[in-house]
Amino acid sequence: MSSIRFALNHMCAPSLTLEAFFAVAKELGIDKVEIRNDLAGNPILDGTPAMAVKELAAREGVAIISINALQRFNEWNDERAREAAGLIDYARDCGARALVLVPVNDGSGREPEVRRANLRKSLSALKPMLEAAGIIGLVEPLGFEICSLRLKSEAAAAIEELGAKSTFCLVHDTFHHHLAGEAAIFPELTGLIHISGVSDPDVSVADMRDPHRVLVDARDRLDNVGQLRALIAAGYAGPASFEPFAPTVHALNEPIAALKESMAYIAGRL
């Protein structure tokens, strides 16, 4: 079985500057990173030109695999089109290969017909924009019960129907996959894996939220190792990116040591 290739999402250490974050990746022997547009004091929010980010990545020897994320992507309107255009341009100019697409997650737009129509409308609008820039759209279903796109099977069906497999891929997020309770894994459509674990023994699956998401260890309740094993066995050869949201992880003084430990645990079990 081929070994896993790890990547780092800036959410691993959101208080670090981009330069410090890239340096952490390098120290861990990781050359693939995800940058975010939701971290204060960091590109993209602080107005840093995309070319400056591209130069920094080149200097540090890391490849930017994605910008995370266009939020509410499946609620297509003029505002969303403007946001998408800006992020796609930034992704192209900073050398990012993909843009993560996150669905509406507030309880609205969940009715089956509405849900499917919204998804097709937004993918159809995004397709020519992404293609013109040479950027992949990474569709990330969220497993929460209130989400307007919970299942990868729905996203896969829409991508297939639009003949858009060269433009869109799926994100297999181990946390959201577990919450959605979906068995199918779609390795051939998967462009990125997000990994995080839940080790709190007391929280029910229905009540799991982003603050529960820690680095994967022996107490993990989401079966990250089993999910990774299945995807790799089915031919997935892309990166697996650490994306913990827990404040306990963000407050670590030694994120490198903690990440090393989690990488060793996962690799050892695979």
> What pLDDT, on the 0 to 100 scale, is given for residue 136?
98
| Closest CA relative to residue 239, chosen from 6, 64, 30 | 6
DSSP 211: G
Residue pointed to by tokens 């022996």:
218
Please give the average per-residue pLDDT across 161-179, as a whole number: 98
Q: Would you state the pLDDT for residue 2?
A: 57
**Domain extents in the chain:** 5-269
- For residue range 85-122, list pLDDT tens digits in order: 999 999 999 999 999 999 999 999 999 999 999 999 99
Q: What is the pLDDT of residue 170?
A: 98
pLDDT on residue 1: 45
Closest CA to 98 of 90, 108, 109, 107: 90
Is 175:213 a contact under the CB 8 Å cutoff? yes
Distances (CA, A) of 9 to 1, 76, 89, 120: 25, 26, 20, 28
Put simply, whether the predicted model's pTM sits higher than 0.95 gets the answer: yes
pLDDT in tens, 26-44: 999 999 999 999 998 888 9
DSSP state of 4: P
Q: What is the mean pLDDT of the chain?
A: 96
Phi, psi of 153 (to 5 degrees): -60, -35
Mean of pLDDT values over 137-153: 98
Given CATH 3.20.20.150, say whether it is the number of domain 5-269. Answer: yes
Residue 72 half-sphere exposure toward CB, CA atoms < 13 A: 13
